[in-house]
Structure 1
């Protein structure tokens, strides 16, 4: 799907043909003035589509900022002991977090089957993208909770989600501005009927066939699997605090 204003309409082509053969334009208008008006109006109507490289630059910035945020989060988590670090409830929050991580990994891979490299060429509005404009990011928020939950602290789990919402939210706004510029009214109509995040299940529609790009699917799957590293990393930090290798500066619920 491309912006409609990049394709000349049949009506304009007819006018150009009439002018070229010296036929009168609408309402007996001089063919030379008709041709002149067409020549003048075409550069104004046709605008160059946004450069897909702009969208890739947004993604590179998002990854860089996210990397810094993850490092900062790990430093805080290293010196923070959860308030409930003993008893039957000790592993409850981390266990819920692992479930959230697996759900996020599967969900992100599912979304990649539909979006895989198509974002800059067309509006993807089927499957998970028929009920939410950003299902891939919704699963990323769930993954952030799963990572934060491995600390055993509800406060840090909420902080991880908050960081993801702030960083990815800025990326989403820039992506939506690019898509609106690229696809115009078509994207506006899609945005009007599809929620930004929370799914509208009644709007579900699907494709009978999908063109799958295996490389992108595998990349998304591996990116998601990398998040499972939070489980051994947080467990190692907990042991380091328990043995005194890492000091405890904060105690949070």
Structure 2
């Protein structure tokens, strides 16, 4: 799927957000029947607490990306900060957020499953976006593709910027968008309670 115009790109981004929202609701629905298989509360609670830490890291990472890319995503090729190590660090941190949500269930298996599913979904999004960037930036983007990994960061490539300029409104929007990753926590805690009193069935248990 090649996107050749800013209008087409904007339309695709809107559809992507809708599709991702639908996928999140489907995943949360599936989690209604899942419970941690760990029998000791200490392990279960430790995994949940670590998941909260992962969510915090996700939000900070997405804000870090916005410091470099905010307002410039379709205007220029940014090759500094997180974008010097990965061409799609926002999606890397979002996949990390999916991992954190899975950990809130108290299950490492669910965490890995959600992270993998999220990464696969982003793979198709990235392919579409690359078609647009190829058409807009040509050789500049081809060089960037050749030198920097598509997804998994290469820490050896890291390059910092001396000065950063970002619109505060975009940074705040990224912060508030990131807070969505915390929404599953109270919901999953309530689900765990309903499961404990046998109102919701537990169909799957994962370590």
Identify the TM-score tier after normalising by the shorter chain.
over 0.9
**How far 1:199 moved relative to its partner?**
2.1
- Structure 2 distance, partners of 1:215, 1:55, is 22
2:164 alignment counterpart: 210
- Structure 2 distance, partners of 1:238, 1:167, is 28
- Structure 1 distance, partners of 2:156, 2:37, is 42
1:131 alignment counterpart: 85
Structure 1 unaligned spans of 5+:
1-48
1:37 alignment counterpart: none
- Structure 1 distance, partners of 2:156, 2:199, is 53
2:57 maps to which of 103, 111, 121? 103
- Structure 1 distance, partners of 2:39, 2:60, is 30
1:69 alignment counterpart: 23
1:19 alignment counterpart: none
1:199 alignment counterpart: 153
Tell me, yes or no, if the aligned pair for 1:150 and 1:231 is still in contact at 8 Å. yes
2:193 alignment counterpart: 239
1:26 alignment counterpart: none
**How far 1:119 moved relative to its partner?**
1.4
> Pairwise CA RMSD of aligned residues?
1.6
1:120 alignment counterpart: 74
2:173 maps to which of 198, 208, 219? 219
The alignment partner of 1:182 has SS state of helix
1:169 maps to which of 123, 134, 140? 123
- Structure 1 distance, partners of 2:22, 2:73, is 26
Q: Deviations over 1:185-233 (max 9, x none)?
A: 1100011111112222332223222221111111111111121122211
TM-score between the two structures when normalised by the length of structure 2 = 0.93
Pairing of 1:135-150 with structure 2 (within 5 A): 135-150=89-104
Tell me, yes or no, if the aligned pair for 2:58 and 2:96 is still in contact at 8 Å. yes
Larger relative contact order (Cα-Cα within 8 Å, sequence gap ≥ 6):
2
Distance 1:53 1:85, change over 3 A: farther
2:46 maps to which of 82, 89, 92? 92
Structure 2 unaligned spans of 5+:
none
- Structure 1 distance, partners of 2:21, 2:201, is 24
Displaced runs of 4+ in structure 1, greater than 6 A? Answer: none
Q: Greater Rg, structure 1 or structure 2? A: 1
Tell me, yes or no, if the aligned pair for 1:109 and 1:220 is still in contact at 8 Å. yes
Moved more, 73-82 or 204-213: 204-213
TM-score between the two structures when normalised by the length of structure 1 = 0.77
Across the two proteins, how many residue pairs are aligned to each other?
A: 205
Tell me, yes or no, if the aligned pair for 1:107 and 1:139 is still in contact at 8 Å. yes
- Structure 2 distance, partners of 1:76, 1:155, is 14
The alignment partner of 2:43 has SS state of coil
Pairing of 1:36-47 with structure 2 (within 5 A): none
